[in-house]
Amino acid sequence: MIVLGVESSCDETGLALYDTQRGLLAHALHSQVAMHEEYGGVVPELASRDHIRRAIPLLEQVMDKADVTRDAIDAIAYTQGPGLAGALLVGASIACGLGLAMDKPVLGVHHLEGHLLSPLLAGERPDFPFIALLISGGHTQLMRVDGVGQYALLGETLDDAAGEAFDKSAKLLGLGYPGGPAISRLAEFGESDVHRLPRPMLHSKDLNFSFSGLKTAVLTLVRNQTANICEQDKAHIARAFVDAIVEVLVAKCLAALKQTGLKRLVIAGGVGANRQLRDALNDAAQKKRFKVFYPELEFCTDNGAMIAFAGAMRLQINPDAAKRDYGFNVRPRWPLDELRVV
C-alpha cells in the first residue's frame, strides 16, 4: 500500500510517499522560517498563502524522487488538525482535490499522532507499549502508547509548553526566530554554575508540567543584568534555562517509566532534536537501564513523512478508514487522547 502524506499545519509544507512494504519512498519539505523571521513568529495568513504556492511543486518533486505513477498511490493522508485553521484548510483542500482528481480515498490524520509515531520511521524502532514524551509546538505531554490509536494521557503542561518557553526565553535574550535552536546553541558557551533557575513542578508528585514561571525567571534575570548585557552573560543565562528545562523533562520521563513499569521511552516533536535533552536522556537510560528512541533529526520538525506513515498505519488496521468523500473539515484544536483505533 502506497500512501501520499500532506502536512500543512503551521509553517512547514511537507509531502511524502510511504509504502507499507518498502518504507519511505520519498519526501520533500519547505520551511517558512526565513519568511516569518522578520516578524518574530508565524504570521498565519502568510503561512497559508505559502502553502498554496509550495504544495504542488513539492508533490511533483516527491513523485519524481519515488519514481512512481499516480495510479500507484492507494490513498492520501492529510493533517486534519491541530494547527492553524487557514494552513490546515490549504492542506485539506489540496489532499481532497487530488483525491477527487485521481479517484483515491482520503484520510484525515492527527498531527500529533504523526509526531508520536515518527520514531517508528527510524532504523531502530520501538515495540509497543512505550512511554512517549511529546514536545511539539504548544504541546508538552507524557503519553502511554499501547498501539496505533491507543493513547493514555499521563501528564501535560498546565500553561506554557517547553517549545513555547524556549521561543519566549530566546526572545528575551534578543535571539532570532525560531528561538529553540538559537538558545540551545548559545547555551553551549555558558557555564552551569553561574545562575540557577527554578525547576517548575519538579517535585509535584504528578506528571504535569509548567514552564511559564521559568520564562518569568529568565525575564527577571535579564532585567537584573546591566543595560549592556554581553554575549557571555546571555550564554550563562541560556545555559541556566536549558539546564532547568532539561532536568524537569528528564525527571518526569523517569517518573512515568517508574509509574507504568515500562522500559521504552520515545521522544517526539521539535524539542526532541535538542542536543542537551538527548544527552541527558541517554545518560539516564544507561544508568536506569531503559531504552530511549528518537525520530531522525529531519523528522523532528513537521513533515509529510510522518503523516503518510501515520495514515498507512491506520489503513493497515482498517482499510476502510479512508473515504471517497471529498467534503472536508479541519480541527484546529483536537486533543490527542480523543483518538481511538479506527
| DSSP code at position 35 | H
Residue 322 maps to a domain: yes
41/83 same-domain check: yes
159/271 same-domain check: yes
The CA-CA-CA angle for residues 309, 311, 313, to 5°, reads 70
100/48 same-domain check: yes
74/13 same-domain check: yes
Task: Pull the grid cell for residue 308.
Answer: 503518510
d(CA 192, CA 228): 22
The CA-CA-CA angle for residues 48, 49, 50, to 5°, reads 90
Task: Pull the grid cell for residue 85.
Answer: 485553521
Residue 188: partners with Cβ closer than 8 Å, 6 or more residues away: 235, 239
254/184 same-domain check: yes
Q: What backbone torsions phi and psi does residue 70 show, to the nearest 5 degrees?
A: -65, -30
Residue 198 belongs to domain spanning: 127-294
Closest CA to 92 of 79, 101, 74: 79
Residue 121 maps to a domain: no
Residue 327 maps to a domain: yes
Beta strands in 220-314 (DSSP E): 264-268, 291-293
| DSSP code at position 239 | H
pLDDT for the residue numbered 176: 80
pLDDT for the residue numbered 56: 97
pLDDT for the residue numbered 227: 65
d(CA 65, CA 119): 23
pLDDT digits (tens, 9 = 90+) for 122-178: 888 999 999 999 998 889 999 999 999 999 999 999 999 999 999 999 999 999 888
| DSSP code at position 128 | S
d(CA 283, CA 281): 5
Q: Are 91 and 106 in contact (CB under 8 A)?
A: no
247/133 same-domain check: yes
Length of the chain (residues): 342
Residue 155: partners with Cβ closer than 8 Å, 6 or more residues away: 141, 142, 206, 207, 208, 209, 252, 256
Q: Are 167 and 180 in contact (CB under 8 A)?
A: yes
Q: Facing residues of 16 across strands?
A: 5, 27
d(CA 71, CA 7): 21
88/223 same-domain check: no
First-last CA distance in the chain: 17
103/132 same-domain check: no
Mean pLDDT of successive 10-residue stretches along the chain, which has 342 residues: 98 98 98 92 96 98 97 98 97 98 97 96 93 92 96 95 93 88 94 94 96 93 80 94 97 98 96 94 98 95 97 96 94 88 64
Residue 235 maps to a domain: yes
d(CA 18, CA 23): 6
Instruction: Specify the amino acid at residue 62.
Output: V
Q: Are 210 and 200 in contact (CB under 8 A)?
A: yes
Residue 122 maps to a domain: no
pLDDT for the residue numbered 341: 67
Residue 223 maps to a domain: yes
286/147 same-domain check: yes
Q: Kindly report the number of other CB atoms within 10 A of residue 295's CB atom.
A: 26
Count of domains forming the chain: 2
97/135 same-domain check: no
Instruction: Specify the amino acid at residue 229.
Output: I
Residue 220 maps to a domain: yes
260/166 same-domain check: yes
283/160 same-domain check: yes
d(CA 194, CA 19): 51
The edge-to-edge listing of strands for the beta sheet with 2-7 is 23-31, 12-19, 2-7, 75-81, 106-110
d(CA 96, CA 99): 5
pLDDT for the residue numbered 226: 63
Residue 232 maps to a domain: yes
**What is the reported pTM?**
0.95
- Kindly report the CATH number assigned to the domain that includes residue 133: 3.30.420.40
pLDDT digits (tens, 9 = 90+) for 178-188: 888 999 999 99
d(CA 276, CA 183): 11
